[in-house]
Amino acid sequence: MPNSAERLGRAARRSDRLKVKIEMLPTLRRNIPLTEPMNEEQIEKMDDASLSILEEVGVEFHDPIALEHWKEAGASVEGERVRFDRGLIRELIKSIPESITMHARDPEKSLEIGGNNSIFVPMTGAPFLTDLENKRRMPTLDDLANFHKLSHMLPAIHSSAHHIVEPMDHAISHRHLRITYSSMKHSDKTFMGMTSSGKNAEDVIEMCKILFGEKFIDTHPVVTGNINGNSPLVWDQTMLSALRVFSAHNQPVLCSPFVLGGANTPASVAPTVAQVNAEALSALAYTQVIRKGAPAIYGHYLATVSMQSGAPMAGTPEISLMNFMIGQMARHYKVPWRSSNTLGGSKVFDAQSGYESASTMMAVLLSGANYIWHSADGMRLECIAQWQNLWLMLSNAKWAIEWLKE
Amino acid sequence: MPNSAERLGRAARRSDRLKVKIEMLPTLRRNIPLTEPMNEEQIEKMDDASLSILEEVGVEFHDPIALEHWKEAGASVEGERVRFDRGLIRELIKSIPESITMHARDPEKSLEIGGNNSIFVPMTGAPFLTDLENKRRMPTLDDLANFHKLSHMLPAIHSSAHHIVEPMDHAISHRHLRITYSSMKHSDKTFMGMTSSGKNAEDVIEMCKILFGEKFIDTHPVVTGNINGNSPLVWDQTMLSALRVFSAHNQPVLCSPFVLGGANTPASVAPTVAQVNAEALSALAYTQVIRKGAPAIYGHYLATVSMQSGAPMAGTPEISLMNFMIGQMARHYKVPWRSSNTLGGSKVFDAQSGYESASTMMAVLLSGANYIWHSADGMRLECIAQWQNLWLMLSNAKWAIEWLKE
C-alpha cells in the first residue's frame, strides 16, 4: 500500500498529465525575400489597367442598398453597373488599416495580420469527409467539433475557422449558429464568421458581442468574414449584405474575387490579375463607404480552367504566378491580403496531392500573403485529405519559422 | 481495292507515323528573382570563413599525385593535409569558365550550363527498382536501357545521365562500359560519365573520343563526371584520379562535397555552408592545377541528419536554405553550380514523396542552380518512385518555362 508521500507524488503527476498546454506558434514572420516578378513600372501599369476597368467597364453591384450608397459616394450608377472615378477609389482605400490585430479569446493567441506576418487558417466548406474507417460520408456537427479541436491543438494553425466541414445534420436555417458556437467553444484561437447572408452575419456579430462584449468588438477585430465575388465584375446581394454587417461592426472582411482563370477571366495571367485587382479594389472601397477606417483584407480565390476540357484546375503554376503579382498589388495599396494554400487537383491523399499542395504552399509563402486560408475548397475535395495536406505542409511552416529566424 | 493515289497517301501517313520527333525543351531560363538570404556583407563573411578553413584547417587529399601537384602549385602540404593561401585559391578558380556549352550527339540538344540557365538531369545510382508488376528487384542492363530511352523521350529532361539504375547483371569490372554505351546508344542528349575510378574515367573518355572524335572533345565538353567529397574536408584517391582524367581532357566535373548536415558538418546552417564552400573551392582549384581553363562545376550533395535519431533526412527545409546560400556563393565566384532536386525521405510514391519533392524542387529553382541533378540517390530510394517524382516535377518545369516567358 502506498504511503502518503507516494500518494501525493502520484496525484501531482496525474494533475500534470491533465494540464495540457496548448501552444500556438507565433505568426510566421518572413525573413527571406519575396518573389516579385513585376518592377515598379509594371506595378503602375497594372494599377492603371485595373482603374481603367473600374472607370470604363465598371462593376455590377446586385444590391439596391449598395447602389444607393455608391450614388451618395459619387460613383456613376447605371442600372446595376457602377463606374468609379480613379480618384474616388484611391481616396476610399486610403483609410484601410495597413495591419490588423485580431483578438482571440485567449489574448496570447491574438494575431497581427499585415506586414511580413503570415497566419495559417484551416480549410473550410467540405461537404464530405472520409472517416477513420475510410468511409466517405456527410459530416455532422460532431465531426466539425473534432476538426475545431484539432485546429485548436495544432501549433501551426492560427484559427479554428468556421465550417471546416458542413454539419449536414443541422438545418440550414440555424446551421450558422451551430458552426459559430462550435468555433467559439472548442478553441480559444481566432475564428471566422459565416457570411451566408446579411441576417446570418448579424447573428455572428451578436454571438461575438456575447463572447467579447459589445463595446470591445466595436473597436477590436475578433472575427473575419469572407465575401466572394461573382467574377467577372459582379458582387451579389448575399455577400454585400454580409459585408455591410461586418464592416459596420469594425470586423474585417476578405474581399475575394472568385477566379476560374480562363473561364471567368481572360485566358492569360496579366489581364486576369488586372481584373481580379479591379474587383478586389471595388469591394475594398465599399467597406470604407460603410465605415471609414474599418479593417479589410484584399482577397481572392484562385483556380484555373483547363483550356482543353474546361475543367477547373487547382495547383497549377499560373496560380502561383498570379499570387506573386497580386501580392505586389496588395503591398502597393498597403492593404493586408489573403490567399489560399495547399491547392491540388487530386481527390485522394496521394503523391499528386502532395506535390501540388507543396508547390502552391511554397509560392504562397514567397508571394508574401498575410492570411493564408484553406485547401482547394472550390474543388470540394474530401476533407480529410485536405486536412492532412494542410497539417503536413504546416509542419514545414513550423520548421520554416525556425530557420527563418537565423 | 485502293487506287495508286490512295496507296501513296497511306504510305505517306505510315511513314509520318514512324518518324517520331523527339523534342527537348530548351534550358529553363529563369526570369523570376532568386531567393538570396545573404546580403553582400554576409557573402563576404562566408567567403572569408571558408578561406580561413582552407588556410588554417586545410583539406586532406588522400592521393600522392594530388599532394605532389599541390606542393608544386605552392600550397603547404603536411602529410595528407593541404593548407591553401587564400590568394592561391582565388587565383586558381579565376580561370574556371563562367558558363559551359555541353555538346550533345544531336547538336540541337547541346546545352548552356551557367548564367540563368537550369538543366534537368535524371537521378542515378538506384540499386533496386520496382517493376510494372510492383515487384522490387535488382535492375538489369535492359532496365537501364529503358530508363535511358525514357530520358531520351521526356522533353523536360536534358540528359540521359549514366547509371540511373545499377545493371547488376554485369560484372563491376566492365559495368561502366555497359552503362556508358547504353547512355550513348539510347539517347542523343548529353550524358554523364562514370567516375568510379581513374581507369574507368579513362575508358569513358576513350568512348567519347570514338563518338565525337579525339580533337573535338579536347576543345568541346561532351560529358560530365561527378566527384564526391568525403566530408568533412577529405577528397579520396578514387575521386581525385577520375577528376584528373576529366579535367585533363577538358570535360567538366561536378566538385560535390557530400553533406550529411549535422553528422559530417556542424549542426547549424551557416557553418555548414562555410565548410561545404571550402571543400568545393579546394576541388575546383585542383581542376585548374590539372588544366588551367578547364570547365568545372561547383557541386554538392545535401542531406541532413535527424538530431534525434541520427537518421539521414532528405527534403528538409535546412537543405533548401543551404541551396539558397550556396547558390549565392557560386555566383560570387562566377562558377556554374549543381544541386539535386526532388529529394524526399519516403520510400514509396506517396503524398510525403510528393510534397517533399516539390518543396525541394521549388527551392532549387529559386536558388538558381544551373545543373539540377537527381532525386535522393544518397537515400537509395526505389528507382521507379524517384523517376515518377522527377517526371511529375518536370512537367511543372515545362509549365514553368511557359509562364516564365511572359
Of the candidates A241, A274, A290, A326, the residue with the CA atom closest to the CA atom of residue A50: A274
pLDDT in tens, A309-368: 888 887 777 888 899 999 999 999 999 999 987 777 777 777 777 777 777 877 888 899
Q: Give the C-alpha distances (Å, rounded to integers) separating A328 from A37, A116, A229, A369.
A: 9, 13, 21, 10
Residue contact A358–B353, C-beta within 8 A: no
Residue contact B399–A270, C-beta within 8 A: no
Q: Measured between CB atoms, does A389 come within 8 Å of chain B?
A: yes
Residue contact A403–B321, C-beta within 8 A: yes
Of the candidates A393, A399, A355, A29, the residue with the CA atom closest to the CA atom of residue B318: A399
Which of chain A's residues have a Cβ under 8 Å away from the Cβ of B396?
317, 355, 359
pLDDT at A381 (0 to 100): 37
Residue contact A354–B354, C-beta within 8 A: yes
Residue contact B356–A359, C-beta within 8 A: no
Q: Measured between CB atoms, does A365 come within 8 Å of chain B?
A: no
Residue contact A321–B403, C-beta within 8 A: yes
The alpha carbon of residue A359 is apart from the nearest alpha carbon of chain B, in Å, by: 6
Percentage of chain B lying above the pLDDT 70 cut: 90
The mean pLDDT value of chain B amounts to 87
Mutation for A interface: B39, B318, B355, most A CBs within 10 A: B355
Q: Measured between CB atoms, does A130 come within 8 Å of chain B?
A: no
* Res A389 pLDDT > 70: no
Residue A32 has its nearest CB partner, among B37, B354, B361, at B37
- Give DSSP secondary structure letters for A163-206: -SB--TTS-HHHHHHHHHHHHHHH-SSBEEE--SSHHHHHHHHH
Give the CA count within 13 Å in the CB-facing half-sphere of B345. 12
Of the candidates A156, A365, A157, A261, the residue with the CA atom closest to the CA atom of residue B358: A365
Of A173-177, B195-199, B267-271, least confident by mean pLDDT is B267-271
Longest dimension (CA), chain A: 87
Q: Across residues B207-211, what is the average pLDDT?
A: 98
Of A98-102, A115-119, B282-286, least confident by mean pLDDT is A115-119
Q: What angle do CA B147, B149, B155 make, to 5 degrees?
A: 100
d(CA B323, CA A387): 30
How many angstroms separate the first and last alpha carbons of chain A?
53
Which of chain A's residues have a Cβ under 8 Å away from the Cβ of B306?
none
Q: Which three cell numbers stand for residue B176?
A: 561502366
Residue B317 has its nearest CB partner, among A359, A388, A396, at A396
* Res B353 pLDDT > 80: no
d(CA B309, CA A183): 38
Residue contact A354–B349, C-beta within 8 A: no
* Cβ contact B289:B248 at 8 Å: no
* Cβ contact A370:B374 at 8 Å: no
d(CA B327, CA A366): 18
The alpha carbon of residue A95 is apart from the nearest alpha carbon of chain B, in Å, by: 32
* Res B366 pLDDT > 50: yes
Helix (H) or strand (E) holding B81: strand B81-83
Residue given cell 461537404 in the structure block: A127
* Res B406 pLDDT > 50: no
Of A236-245, A286-295, A389-398, B87-96, least confident by mean pLDDT is A389-398
**Tell me, what's the ipTM?**
0.76
d(CA A134, CA A307): 34
Q: Across residues A194-209, what is the average pLDDT?
A: 98
pLDDT in tens, B291-333: 999 999 999 988 888 888 888 887 777 888 899 999 999 999 9
pLDDT class for A2, splitting at 50, 70, 90?
Answer: low
pLDDT class for A197, splitting at 50, 70, 90?
Answer: very high
The single-letter DSSP state of residue A115 is T
d(CA B256, CA B185): 27
Residue contact A33–B37, C-beta within 8 A: yes
The single-letter DSSP state of residue A342 is S
Q: Measured between CB atoms, does A2 come within 8 Å of chain B?
A: no
Helix (H) or strand (E) holding A67: helix A64-73
Which of chain B's residues have a Cβ under 8 Å away from the Cβ of A351?
349-351, 353-354, 388-389, 392
Q: Measured between CB atoms, does B269 come within 8 Å of chain A?
A: yes
Question: A269-290 vs A86-93: helix axis angle to the nearest 10?
Answer: 60
Cis before residue A232, ω within 30 degrees of 0? yes
In the three-class reduction of DSSP (H, G, I as helix; E, B as strand; rest coil), residue A264 is classed as: coil
d(CA B365, CA B28): 9
pLDDT at B388 (0 to 100): 41
Residue A351 has its nearest CB partner, among B31, B351, B406, at B351
Beta bridge partners of B102: B111
Q: Which three cell numbers stand for residue B5?
A: 493515289
pLDDT in tens, A256-296: 999 998 899 998 889 999 999 999 999 999 999 999 999 99
The alpha carbon of residue B207 is apart from the nearest alpha carbon of chain A, in Å, by: 39
Q: Give the C-alpha distances (Å, rounded to integers) separating A154 from A105, A143, A167, A383.
A: 17, 17, 21, 16
Of the candidates B234, B283, B226, the residue with the CA atom closest to the CA atom of residue B251: B226
Q: Give the C-alpha distances (Å, rounded to integers) separating A348 from A375, B385, B403.
A: 13, 18, 28
Of A60-64, A384-388, B186-190, B250-254, least confident by mean pLDDT is A384-388
Sign of CA dihedral A145, A147, A153, A156: negative
Q: Give the C-alpha distances (Å, rounded to integers) separating B60 from B233, B239, B278, B282.
A: 6, 13, 12, 10
Does residue A339 or residue A7 have the better pLDDT? Answer: A339
Residue contact A358–B358, C-beta within 8 A: yes
pLDDT in tens, A101-158: 999 999 999 999 999 898 989 888 888 887 778 788 899 999 999 889 988 988 778 9
d(CA B79, CA B61): 9
Q: Measured between CB atoms, does B355 come within 8 Å of chain A?
A: yes
d(CA A279, CA A281): 5
Does residue A63 or residue A39 have the better pLDDT? Answer: A63
- What is the CB neighbour count within 10 angstroms for residue A260? 17
Cis before residue A252, ω within 30 degrees of 0? no
In the three-class reduction of DSSP (H, G, I as helix; E, B as strand; rest coil), residue B371 is classed as: strand
